[in-house]
Structure 1
Amino acid sequence: MATSQRDYYQVLGIPNTASADEIKKAYRRLARQFHPDMHSGAKKSEMEKKFKELNEAHEVLSDTDKRKKYDRYGAQWEQAEAYERARQAAGAQGGGQAHSFSGEGFSDIFENLFGGRGRSGSPRGFSAQGEDLETEAELSLREVLTGVTKRVNLMEPTPCLTCRGSGAVRNRPCQACLGTGSHVESKTIEVKIPAGVQDGTRVRVAGKGQPGVNGGKRGDLYLHVTIAPDKIFRRQGSDLQATLPVWPWEAALGAEVMAPTLTEPVRVKIPAGSRAESKLRLKGKGLPTAAGGHGDLFLILQIVMPSSLTDDERALFAQLGRLRTGDPRADLLAAAQRG
């Protein structure tokens, strides 16, 4: 069944002391995040792999009997049944004596059964680079503008002090780590994300992945960057858009008003005779570009009416209505009649 050599507890992001309820909650949370139907393109195939690994870890750790075997034997938990049968058979042939394997200890028997390999499945003397880790990092537009240092929590195995990482003490499974050779501990690191990073970018942090095997290099950590929606600004590449409300008289007569940016508000000039949906361009007030400059901020004018009018204001609007001739709906009505 097993297709992955990653620690199942690390796959679910939980300690090896997690309860059944914690295992279930972790699985449900990650299943929503990694489900292939939630992604498209190249990322879909990547998520399919992660989702398969996640289901495999959940299937083992949510089953009490399988979890006991996994806690004791690690990635080789399925082959452990063969080991148990071989040990029992040898005991029966030797009159029920546990030393029927010519005095070999647990680790020696295990290595003989599985071709000279230890728990991790790596041959003696063979070094291998640790696996890469991946996680999500959500940034606000202001963090994209300036760059940011993010704190990332990782679940990392550390060698067991009792058995010094071997998984066994006096040829028996280590009781401190249940034969795994390590404990899973939470570790927080700081990752600097540069300004101008794009949505969907993978930021590589060298040497922050899983530890290597037999002295091999550590893997890398990859952060998948997503940019959170903003309440005010809409992103279009390196450019930004925002709606700027103006009074009818400001649009008609022109005015100077304050407008928002990702940093401090700035004063902008509304040209006389401006119409609704007109755009004002603020050069260089957007996000950093790959070329080293900045995009622009476009303010889209929205003409708004007061929620209530005073008697004087109502009189002025009535006077304007008497002075203004023509029908603003004339072109619309004519076009509707033409079909």
Structure 2
Amino acid sequence: MATTSRDYYQVLGVPRSASAEDIKKAYRRLARQYHPDLHTGGKKVEMEKKFKELNEAHEVLSDPDKRKKYDQYGADWEQAEAYERARQQAGAGAGGFGGADMRGGFAGGGDFSDIFENLFGGRTRAGATRGFAVQGEDLETEADLTLREVLTGVTKRVTLREPESCPTCQGGGRLKGRPCPTCLGSGSVMESKTIEVRIPAGVQDGTRVRVAGKGQPGMNGGRRGDLYLHVHILPDPVFRQQGSDLHVTLPVWPWEAALGAEVMAPTLGEPVRVKIPPGSKADGKLRLKGKGLPTAAGGHGDLFLHLHIVMPSSLSDEERKHYEQLKRLRHDDPRVDLLAAAQRG
């Protein structure tokens, strides 16, 4: 999660009193608007920046604990969180600190940096060898996928934040006998890191993808936490998804439905030629086996074509002549069953 100077609530366009559901709705609405895959050229670069900022804001405000710290400490909430974990670890080995207060230091005096000094003697968190090994925290973020990315699988770039040795004090935590103003005496600062994560084909909406060892670093030799990606599949303008099956509306002319025809139909890959059976009805449905999304069992779902009979917007004299000829032929009334059912009701 990269550093941003903008207020996270402003990024999502919600008030500070917004509920978790309000935050979720705002994120999903803006994610569809800013998703880079929906833009091209220079606009795509701009949307990548906005989408990255949007994910940063959502990652914090959607997590109750992170949101609480952000509301309390603002842009410095991660430094405060790192301190709190360090204090708890050191406190477990020294019988606790009782009167420590994150906002005002110890109840009996001292400030934020002095507490770091008392805990670690000016050393970095990695240098605090006392206490048990502590596993790093897990990280969670969201990944938006198009249906075509679900079909083939995709590699996503994810930006993470993790502690690095402070460049000001070189990890020592102190400058000229005083706690370092950059890292507040902790010896480390949060830096951005971008990694690539492969999301397999066929992933379903709401799936939680685990990437082992890509979470926060551990303490005292503890192993790194894991990274979890929550998959959200974006709406598609053509295809409707139901599990591993896809559905699409296929327009046909009246004569194609009546006489049968061969027409081109869309798929997530290349268009395919399909046969419209003679006498097809307006609510008819054709099945293209194996043209859907990958399944957990290793196969593919199906693609269903829902026939929609469309009329010409205008008729030529020749077309009108043929329709007049059809009108004069004897046909059963297609409304008989409808009228009878209405009378019975």
3-state DSSP of counterpart to 2:101 = helix
Cα deviations by residue, 1:202-249 (Å, 9 ceiling, x for unpaired): 111111110111222111111011111111111111111111110000
Contact kept in structure 1, 2:116 and 2:186, CA below 8 Å: no
For 1:240 and 1:32, how far apart are their aligned partners in 2?
39
For 1:149 and 1:72, how far apart are their aligned partners in 2?
30
Q: Is 1:132 aligned with 2:138?
A: yes
Equivalent residue in structure 2 for 1:58, among 70, 88, 95: 70
Equivalent residue in structure 2 for 1:111, among 90, 108, 119: 119
Aligned-residue offset at 1:274: 0.4
Amino acid corresponding to residue 159 of structure 1 in structure 2: S
Equivalent residue in structure 2 for 1:178, among 173, 184, 206: 184
Moved segments of 4+, more than 4 Å = 26-34, 36-39, 47-50, 70-73, 105-109, 117-120
Equivalent residue in structure 2 for 1:292, among 291, 298, 302: 298
Amino acid corresponding to residue 241 of structure 1 in structure 2: H
Structure 1 residues 292 and 62, CA gap change in structure 2 (3 angstroms): closer
After TM superposition, the score normalised by the length of structure 2 is 0.73
Equivalent residue in structure 2 for 1:310, among 293, 312, 316: 316
Q: Which has the larger radius of gyration?
A: 1
Q: How does 1:272-287 map to 2 (within 5 A)?
A: 272-287=278-293
Quote the RMSD (CA, aligned, Å). 3.7
Structure 1 residues 171 and 80, CA gap change in structure 2 (3 angstroms): farther
Q: 2:229 is matched with which residue?
A: 223
Comparing 269-278 and 322-331, the one that deviates more: 322-331
For 2:266 and 2:280, how far apart are their aligned partners in 1?
19
Q: 2:336 is matched with which residue?
A: 330
Q: 1:35 is matched with which residue?
A: 20
Q: 1:25 is matched with which residue?
A: 10
Aligned-residue offset at 1:59: 2.2
After TM superposition, the score normalised by the length of structure 1 is 0.75
What are structure 1's unaligned runs of at least 5 residues? 1-12, 40-46, 89-104
Equivalent residue in structure 1 for 2:157, among 148, 151, 158: 151
Percent identity between the aligned chains? 59
Q: 1:78 is matched with which residue?
A: 101
Contact kept in structure 2, 1:36 and 1:48, CA below 8 Å: no
Count of aligned positions: 293
For 2:240 and 2:332, how far apart are their aligned partners in 1?
37
Aligned-residue offset at 1:192: 0.5
Structure 1 residues 232 and 106, CA gap change in structure 2 (3 angstroms): closer
Q: 2:36 is matched with which residue?
A: none
